[in-house]
Amino acid sequence: MNVRKLALDAIVKILYDGGYSNIVINDTLKKYELNEVDRALFTRLVLGTVEKKITLEYYLKPYLRKKTKTWVYCLLLMSIYQLVYLDIPDYAVVNEAVDMASVRDRSFGSFVNGVLRAFQRNERPNIEALKGMEYLSIKYSYPEWLVAYLLKDYDEATLEKVFMHNDNPKAMAIRVNTLKATKEEIFNYLDEKGIGYAESKFVDNGIVIEDTIIRDKIFTSGKVTIQDLASQKVAEALNPKKESIVLDLCAAPGSKTAHLASIMENSGTIYACDIYPHKIKLMQSNFNRLGVTSASCQQIDARRLKDYVKAKSFDYILADLPCSGLGVMGHKVDIRYNITLSSIEDIISLQAEILESIHDLLKVNGEMVISTCTFNKDENERQVARFIANHPNYEVLEEATYLPYEYGTDGFYICKLRRNY
Q: Tens-digit pLDDT profile for the chain (421 aa)?
A: 799 999 999 999 999 998 999 999 999 999 998 999 999 999 999 999 999 999 999 999 999 988 899 999 999 999 999 999 999 999 999 999 999 999 988 889 999 999 999 999 999 999 999 999 999 999 999 999 999 999 999 999 999 999 999 999 888 999 999 999 999 999 999 999 999 999 999 999 999 999 889 889 999 999 999 999 999 999 999 999 999 999 999 999 999 999 999 999 999 999 999 999 999 999 999 999 999 999 999 999 999 999 999 999 999 999 999 999 999 999 999 999 999 999 999 999 999 999 999 999 999 999 999 999 999 999 999 999 999 999 999 999 999 999 999 999 999 999 999 999 9
Given this model, what pLDDT does residue 81 score?
Answer: 97
313 with 367, same domain? yes
149 with 12, same domain? no
Question: For residues 370 and 362, what is the distance between their CA atoms, to the nearest angstrom?
Answer: 13
Given this model, what pLDDT does residue 211 score?
Answer: 86
Half-sphere exposure of 244 (CA within 13 A, CB side): 25
Given this model, what pLDDT does residue 106 score?
Answer: 85
Q: Phi-psi category of 222—alpha, beta or left, where left has phi over 0 and alpha has psi -120 to 50? A: left
Question: For residues 109 and 101, what is the distance between their CA atoms, to the nearest angstrom?
Answer: 5
Task: Please report which residue ranges of 151-275 form alpha helices under DSSP H.
Answer: 156-166, 183-193, 217-220, 229-238, 255-263
Task: Answer whether 0.85 is exceeded by the pTM.
Answer: yes
Catalogue the active-site residues. 373
220 with 234, same domain? no
Helix axes 36-51, 21-31, angle to 10 degrees: 160
Residues in the chain: 421
Q: Any idea what the CATH number is for the domain that residue 218 is in?
A: 3.30.70.1170
292 with 328, same domain? yes
Could you report the per-residue pLDDT of 173-221, keeping only the tens digit for each?
999 999 999 999 999 999 999 999 999 999 999 999 998 898 899 999 9
Given this model, what pLDDT does residue 273 score?
Answer: 95
Contact 190, 197 (CB under 8 A): yes
Last residue of a domain, one of 121, 146, 179: 121
90 with 148, same domain? no
Q: Phi-psi category of 372—alpha, beta or left, where left has phi over 0 and alpha has psi -120 to 50? A: beta
Could you report the per-residue pLDDT of 381-398, keeping only the tens digit for each?
999 999 999 999 999 999
289 with 371, same domain? yes
Which phi and psi angles does 40 have, rounded to 5°?
Answer: -65, -45
363 with 386, same domain? yes
Angle at 405 between CA 377 and CA 127, to 5 degrees: 90
Helix axes 70-85, 109-121, angle to 10 degrees: 30
Given this model, what pLDDT does residue 150 score?
Answer: 98
254 with 176, same domain? no
176 with 310, same domain? no
Given this model, what pLDDT does residue 105 score?
Answer: 87
Closest Cα partner for 323 from 298, 353, 346?
346
Contact 281, 211 (CB under 8 A): no
Question: For residues 365 and 244, what is the distance between their CA atoms, to the nearest angstrom?
Answer: 13
180 with 326, same domain? no
38 with 89, same domain? yes
Residue 341 CB coordination number (10 Å): 11
Given this model, what pLDDT does residue 383 score?
Answer: 98
Contact 289, 179 (CB under 8 A): no
Last residue of a domain, one of 226, 243, 258: 226
Reduced to 3 states (helix: H, G, I; strand: E, B; else coil), residue 150 is helix
Contact 203, 229 (CB under 8 A): yes
Given this model, what pLDDT does residue 1 score?
Answer: 74
Q: Any idea what the CATH number is for the domain that residue 250 is in?
A: 3.40.50.150
Domain count, the chain: 4
103 with 140, same domain? no
Strand runs (DSSP E) across 355-410, as ranges? Answer: 362-372, 394-402
Residue 216: domain span: 170-226
User: How does DSSP classify residue 151?
Assistant: T
Separation of first and last alpha carbons in the chain:
66
